[in-house]
Structure 1
Amino acid sequence: MNLRPAAALAASALLATGLATLGAPAPASAATTAPPHRVLFDNSKGETAGNADWIISTAQPDPLAQNANPTTEKSWTGALSAWGVALQRTGQYSLKTLPAGSTISYGTGAALDLANFDTFVLPEPNIRLSTSEKSAIVRFVQNGGGLFLISDHNQSDRNNDGWDSPAIINDLLTNNGVNNNDPFGFSVDIANISTDNPRAVNDAADPVLHGPFGTVTGSILRSGTTFTLKPADNPKVKGIVYRTGYSGNTGAFFLTSGYGTGRVAAWGDSSPADDGTGQPGNNLFNGWNDPAGTNAALALNATAWLSKA
């Protein structure tokens, strides 16, 4: 993470406390001392298929069209709205959504092209990416972008097209037309783990575990999967939260990596990011505030690290 002046660090500490419940206003200096970090959330790959609701707002591409001054997760509609609102309230992030029917691109000049963003969040994709889309993502990271991948358990095909998020992410890693040898140094385990409370490793220097939004002690796993690390393919890969009883190259539930000048984070379940609110009719689970984990801090610190904030 880039070094910041003392005033900015103090503001970050205040921010971590206030945003724990989204109840405190963002520090006044945030909007004026830091340029916006641009984050694009994907909704082009079936993120609302079936019972899924992995969006920050139904107003797309701009969530501010739903509410320009959000104060809680209910200010925007979506199971990831708490994530989006927390970032928005800092004054340091500019958020957009790639709507359904769009194509992921890099270097085309389009308004929602990855080249216009610092971080791309791909939350439990349910539609297989095209070859050009996979190439776009890998080149985006290679050239300095941040990629946040969220998987789910095996057989989580919500739109019944034969592809679920573990298969889709593994396909991105091994069939992308740029580097087909797991460029980020991991693969998604084809597993369905019903429940666990994964714990963070002991690393006081890790910028995701100890970031501007608080200290991460662990997460929750509620029907999800894990990752196998492949440091021989990419020595930058690092597990920072592990399933109970696991360490090293197996059982990683949250990992970070680097490729080229960019950064990657991956989470093994969508439940920790779910804030329990969303579109009518969806059965959602409030993992964001689950006391068994520090999921909000993990998501937000990782976004900051990916965005080089």
Structure 2
Amino acid sequence: MKIPHQRFTRTLLSLALSLTVAASAVPAVLAEGPADPAPYLNPAGTANGKKVLFDNTHGQTAGAADWVINGGFSDFAEGIAAAGYYVKELRKSTPITLDDLKGYDVFIIPEANIPYKTTEQAAMLQYVQGGGSIFFISDHYNADRNKNRWDSSEAFNGYRRGAWTDPAKGMSTEERASAAMQGVASTDWLATNFGVRFRYNALGDINATVIVSPEQSLGITRGVKSVAMHAGSTIAITDPAKAKGIVYLPATSQSWGNAVDKGVYAGGGIAEGPYAAISKVGKGKAAFIGDSSPVEDITPRYLREETGAAKTTYDGYKEQDDATLLINVVNWLAKKESYTKLSQISGLKLDSPTPLLTSGPENEIPQQSVEPQAEPWAAPAAGYKWWDPSTFKAGSYGK
């Protein structure tokens, strides 16, 4: 679903890795699934005693995505390990529970394509309120990689655009009855609890160069002058006492070429909402970014679950100051701090709420949102069922 962007040359790829990956180097045709041991990386250099967990339970390898620590997110995972962290993948076929999370300092969710159940939302919120932190990595609206009508912005926000009264709107009887859709309910979960909501916009290839100063970003933007976007979204600040933008786009009218509405909601800039943001909730924290492009690299591990075709990913982690921002975010998330809201920090300038659109196809009132175009964006391949790994092609994750 991404517009291809500049590829970068690597000389040694992962052959010179000094990090230990628990899973053996298995060719893609012998791919793993949830029942196989999860990969992990030990800290490189001096260990800081902290642990990071990556979600791989909600369609993180669907379509062209390969957002796993031994695949298309390996550069990011290795960067975290190089900063002293232990890194592991969450690999299971049952819902996320608090027990899965509570042993980790940071939980990173790369572009979920299967909605979270209310029990999972409750577990994540309890985890954060108790001192854990979550990094939500989203994408543009309609980046629906498994063609189940849900994209990552919707999965994170807690409701599907144009389907408030029925999260399974348009699904077949079999889809609706699948285990993946049980316990899913429409709520404004992210805004209610974290003070942000991913907007359903879809912007194009843009370098985000409006960077909040380190003094006003709690140090997270130190060393950051530009962050790349290649078809992404922005974030609405709904509760400035909890949440704050740290990276913004410049003024722009450049929408993603396949946007189903006007794509750019407010001409870019501050009014478009931040590209990256942070939040303080109870004893824990959260961070948000509206595109997976800055995080990915060119080493996909698996084949496409729908077709068995090879995946093409890009070297976004090495672009602009993407890596610097991402590692700074993880370091901030992993730091335990006693304040429970951003409004409690002396000298920190709070944001104003992001102005929202309240009419037309872009209506951002959750209960009034509309589906601008029939979903899914394309018909699934014959025999492919996003909710049933037994239908996935050989070499994909889960088969």
- TM-score w.r.t. the length of structure 2 is 0.58
Corresponding residue for residue 211 of structure 2: 201
Q: Structure 1 residue 270 and structure 2 residue 292: aligned? A: yes
Whole-Å Cα distance in 2 between the matches of residues 122 and 44 of structure 1? 9
TM-fit CA distance, 1:217: 1.3
CA contact (8 A) 1:104 1:133 kept: yes
2:236 partner amino acid: T
* Secondary structure in 1 matching 2:122: helix
Partner of 2:139: 152
2:210 maps to 1:223: no
> Counterpart in 2 of 1:136?
123
Task: Name the SS for the 2:331 alignment partner.
Answer: helix
What is the letter of the counterpart of residue 48 of structure 1? T
**What do the CA deviations read for 1:230-288 (whole angstroms, capped 9, x no partner)?**
13xx5131111001124546421000111011111000000000112112611101111
Q: Which secondary structure state, in structure 2, belongs to the residue aligned with residue 240 of structure 1?
A: strand
Q: CA deviation at 1:23?
A: 8.8
Aligned to 1:83: 76
* 1-structure distance, mates of 2:194, 2:135: 12
Report the 3-state secondary structure (helix = DSSP H, G, I; strand = E; otherwise coil) of the residue aligned with 1:208.
coil
Q: What does residue 286 of structure 1 align with?
A: 315
Q: Which has the larger radius of gyration?
A: 2
How far apart, in 2, do the equivalents of 1:284 and 1:27 lie? 25
CA-to-aligned-CA distance 1:50-95 (integer Å, 9 cap, x gap):
11001112xxxxxxxxxxxxxxxxxxxx1110111122233x2111
User: Secondary structure of the residue that 2:158 maps to in structure 1?
Assistant: helix
The answer (yes or no) to whether the contact 1:243–1:253 under 8 Å persists in 2 is: yes
Q: Aligned partners of 1:96 and 1:229: how far apart in 2? A: 31
Aligned-pair Cα RMSD in Å: 2.6
Q: Does 1:235 align with 2:245?
A: no
Q: Which has the higher strand share?
A: 1
Q: Which amino acid aligns with 2:102?
A: A
Q: 1:303 aligns with which of 316, 325, 330?
A: 330
Gaps (5+ residues) in structure 2?
1-15, 20-42, 165-184, 252-267, 303-309, 337-399
Q: Contact 2:157–2:189 (CA<8 Å) still a contact in 1?
A: no
Over residues 176-203 of structure 1, what are the superposed CA-to-partner deviations in whole Å (9 max), with x where a residue is unaligned?
9897752211111111112111124241
Question: Match of 1:85, as an amino acid?
Answer: E
Q: Aligned partners of 1:179 and 1:289: how far apart in 2?
A: 33
| Structure 2 partner of 1:49 | 62
1:101 aligns with one of 88, 93, 97: 93
Cα 1:178–1:197 shift into 2, 3 Å: closer
**How many residues of Structure 1 are paired with residues of Structure 2 in the alignment?**
250
Structure 1 residue 172 displacement after superposition: 7.4
Question: What amino acid does structure 2 have at the position aligned with 1:86?
Answer: G
Q: 2:280 aligns with which of 258, 263, 286?
A: 258
Three-state SS of the structure 1 residue aligned to 2:316 is coil
Cα distance in 2 between the residues matched to 1:98 and 1:125: 13
Consecutive unaligned residues in structure 1, runs of 5 or more:
1-21, 58-77
- Measured after TM superposition, the shift of residue 136 of structure 1 is 0.7
Task: Measure the CA separation in 2 of the matches of 1:306 and 1:38.
Answer: 11
After TM superposition, the structure 1 stretch with the greater mean CA deviation from structure 2, 119-128 or 152-161, is 152-161
The 1:172–1:297 alpha-carbon spacing in structure 2 relative to 1, beyond 3 Å, is: farther
| Structure 1 residue 46: Cα displacement | 0.3
Task: Give the 3 Å change call, closer, same or farther, for CA 50–100 of structure 1 in structure 2.
Answer: farther
Q: TM-score, normalised by structure 1?
A: 0.74
8 Å CA contact 1:54–1:123 kept in 2: the answer is yes
Whether 1:117 aligns to 2:130 is no
Q: Do 1:256 and 1:264's aligned partners in 2 also have CA atoms closer than 8 Å? A: yes
Residue 87 of structure 1 aligns to a residue in which SS? helix
Provide, for residues 216-237 of structure 1, a one-character-per-residue CA deviation record: whole Å limited to 9, x for no partner. 1121111110011113xx5131
Q: Aligned to 2:87, what secondary structure does the other structure show?
A: strand
Paired AA for residue 228 in structure 2: I
- Give secondary structure in 2 for the equivalent of 1:148: strand
Report if aligned partners of 2:158, 2:188 keep a CA contact under 8 Å in 1.
no
